[in-house]
Structure 1
Amino acid sequence: MPETVTPAPLKPRLAISACLMGDEVRYNAGHKQSLLCRNALAEHFDFIRVCPEVAIGLGIPREPIRLVGEPNQPRAVGTVHAERDVTDALAQYGAHMAGQLDDICGYIFMQKSPSCGLERVKVYRDNGAPQADGGRGIYAQAFCAAYPDLPVEEEGRLNDPVLRENFLVRVFAYADWQRVRAAGLSRRALTEFHARYKYQLMANNPPQYKVLGKMLGSMGEADANDVGPRYFSQLMAALKRCATRGTHSNVLLHLSGYLKQHIGPADKQEMLQLIDQYRQGIVPLVVPLTLLKHLFRLHPDPYIAQQVYLQPHPENLSLRNAI
């Protein structure tokens, strides 16, 4: 009999500005390759490359565009030929791609871009002087309006270890939700999903764990397909708040409490010491977490085993080594 080959699991899909993957699509025929995206993240995601400026027919190389007018409603025009207005074309393409990319779990945008920048993109007055407040790229604005819950980030901000870890926690939570939704929403599915995210929520936004729990607890006879999207929207908003050393330490203490009947005084003391050292900034989060996971391997707990917090993203990304 021929050997049965198990297909590799599908990777979550991430959209990304094409220039960040090394594609020479910028106005000067260059790129802005991100080694983080090309190397570390490419192992875990299928990247969908998008360059809206090329997609709407602007050439390579091309006259650069910039944002002009009011920061909350700018126009995208040529820097030399101001009559070349591509605002509507970029916005329409953003809406079009929102319809095409309905299965992604996040989007990494090119910062400062008049088409793709998420925040603080320069917006110029008619006299050429920059406005005090920046704006958002035209394409990014249109795309994000269609997916307000989608994790989005600018590549430059991913150089910050805390922001990088926070973004990828949200990306994998979004992918997790996609699987739950595909299997069919039910009261049980929502309750189990929420239970798995208990300690991740307590790290990011402690009050929201109780708020979301009450939302599910008061479902009554409501349709899970109505409650689910509202629940998930609030979950993603809660996860957007970055966890701190204080909230992480609180979660670690809660988790270690499940071991108090199983470990001796020496292990308890070591665990408390490492948590305190983490709180003080002496060691990174991975240090107390490694000991905690080791102790739970020795003394398994079925409730703790399902907690997303212990491994919200692939271990070899080493995201918790730097926070």
Structure 2
Amino acid sequence: MTPPLPPPAPAPEAHPRPRLAVSSCLLGEPVRYNGGHSRDRFLTGPLADHVDWVPVCPEMEIGLGAPRPTLRLLSDGRIVTRDRTADHTGAMTALAGDRIPDLAGIDGYVFKSRSPSCGLLNLPRYASGRPGERTDGQPVDRRGRGVFAALVTDALPHLPVEEEGRLRDPVLREHFIERVFAHARLRELLAGAWRPRDLVAFHSRHKLQILAHDPAANREMGRIVARAGTRPREDLVTGYRRAFGAAFAVRPKRGRHANALLHVFSPLSEHLDPTRRHDIVAAIESYQHGEAPLSVPIALLRHHAEGEHLAYLAEQTYLDPYPADLLLRHHL
């Protein structure tokens, strides 16, 4: 009897599976100060199929429970109960010290907006008793950042971070998710037994995506990988990781996208007839004028690059930066 054939090897993943830290309440966990949650539809819906969550609730983790007294930020950086009978700054700082080493292996963090522990932007800060501060119970300013969020972002300055409220903006959402998947690809590379030539190949796949974000960074990173075989390994990783994170932190504008699209089109055009060249140029111009989403020229370029078997272009991460079913490039 002929032995059964072994099962086929699983197809390689087209995209890595990022590890994303997230404020637990955004996943629907009842950990808010009032015992409720703030489930986010995008995070628990389309994105959940493509990432591994690392839930964090600093207030629960320091033992406050739910429900619990509401907290406030003070102008001197402390986090206290609204009636100021308890100061949780020390406990929050100690928790961050314990948590940050684990968070160094994540690819991004979605924080809960307006939270005195997790908010990233424009939080109200109240008088701490400094001379000249208002005493009517109103905020002295709205320039605060949550205590835990501040400690994490200070320790991991190149980590992609956002608040869930800002992710409702399609431009900010696309940029954040693009950064997260780029971060995951680099993490996967550096976690393996890579060689200098692997880093060169990785950079070659990302060149046009980096170009769309920051042309100057693209040139700098080209110089880094050009010395990949001669620099000490630790210096190479540190320099490339820093430049990679800084480049993707720059949100690409329409003009830079158009430039990157033309960099795909230029070598591809030699393989196309006039009709197909015209269709692609028209799609790029429509995008540049705000008349069509980025997904239209991207789809055409990717289709023809794959059809003409131009591996260098077809494998560019710019054409396929994250799972297509997230539908992030369809906005005008």
Pairing 1:147–2:156 present: yes
Task: Point out the more displaced range, 220-229 or 204-213.
Answer: 220-229
Contact 2:126 2:141 in 1 (8 A): no
Q: 1:60 aligns with which of 66, 84, 89?
A: 66
- TM-superposition CA deviations, 1:247-295 (whole Å, max 9, x none): 1111111111112221111111111111111001111011111111111
Contact 1:56 1:89 in 2 (8 A): yes
For the residues of structure 1 that align with 2:329 and 2:224, how far apart are their CA atoms? 31
Closer, same or farther: CA 5–39 of 1 in aligned 2, 3 Å: farther
Contact 2:200 2:228 in 1 (8 A): no
For the residues of structure 2 that align with 1:198 and 1:244, how far apart are their CA atoms? 17
Pairing 1:186–2:195 present: yes
> Displacement, 1:218?
4.2
For the residues of structure 2 that align with 1:200 and 1:186, how far apart are their CA atoms? 22
Counterpart of 1:312 in structure 2 is 321
> Displacement, 1:5?
8.1
For the residues of structure 2 that align with 1:46 and 1:247, how far apart are their CA atoms? 31
Counterpart of 1:100 in structure 2 is 102
Contact 2:17 2:51 in 1 (8 A): yes
Read off the aligned partner of 1:77 and give its amino acid letter.
Answer: V
Counterpart of 2:211 in structure 1 is 202
For the residues of structure 1 that align with 2:200 and 2:230, how far apart are their CA atoms? 14
Contact 2:80 2:88 in 1 (8 A): yes
- TM-superposition CA deviations, 1:235-257 (whole Å, max 9, x none): 11111111111111111111111
Task: Point out the more displaced range, 175-184 or 141-150.
Answer: 141-150
Identity of aligned residues (%): 39
> Displacement, 1:113?
0.8
* Gapped regions of structure 1 (runs ≥ 5): none
Q: Secondary structure at the match of 2:144?
A: coil
Read off the aligned partner of 2:58 and give its amino acid letter.
Answer: P
Where does 1:47-126 land on structure 2 (aligned, <5 Å)? 47-70=53-76, 74-80=77-83, 82-126=84-128
Q: Secondary structure at the match of 1:107?
A: strand
Task: Point out the more displaced range, 53-62 or 100-109.
Answer: 100-109
For the residues of structure 2 that align with 1:6 and 1:61, how far apart are their CA atoms? 49
Q: Secondary structure at the match of 2:110?
A: strand
Q: 1:300 aligns with which of 284, 303, 309?
A: 309
Alignment size in residue pairs: 319
For the residues of structure 2 that align with 1:121 and 1:133, how far apart are their CA atoms? 5
Where does 1:1-323 land on structure 2 (aligned, <5 Å)? 4=7, 11-70=17-76, 74-80=77-83, 82-126=84-128, 127=135, 128-218=137-227, 221-323=230-332
Read off the aligned partner of 1:48 and give its amino acid letter.
Answer: V
> Displacement, 1:222?
1.6
Counterpart of 2:131 in structure 1 is none
Q: Secondary structure at the match of 1:14?
A: strand
- TM-superposition CA deviations, 1:161-211 (whole Å, max 9, x none): 111111111111111111111113432122222111111111111111011
For the residues of structure 2 that align with 1:174 and 1:297, how far apart are their CA atoms? 25
- TM-superposition CA deviations, 1:123-161 (whole Å, max 9, x none): 112423313341211111222233222111111111111
For the residues of structure 1 that align with 2:310 and 2:303, how far apart are their CA atoms? 12
For the residues of structure 2 that align with 1:6 and 1:46, how far apart are their CA atoms? 23
- TM-superposition CA deviations, 1:54-99 (whole Å, max 9, x none): 11010211110010124xxx1000002x130001111211221112
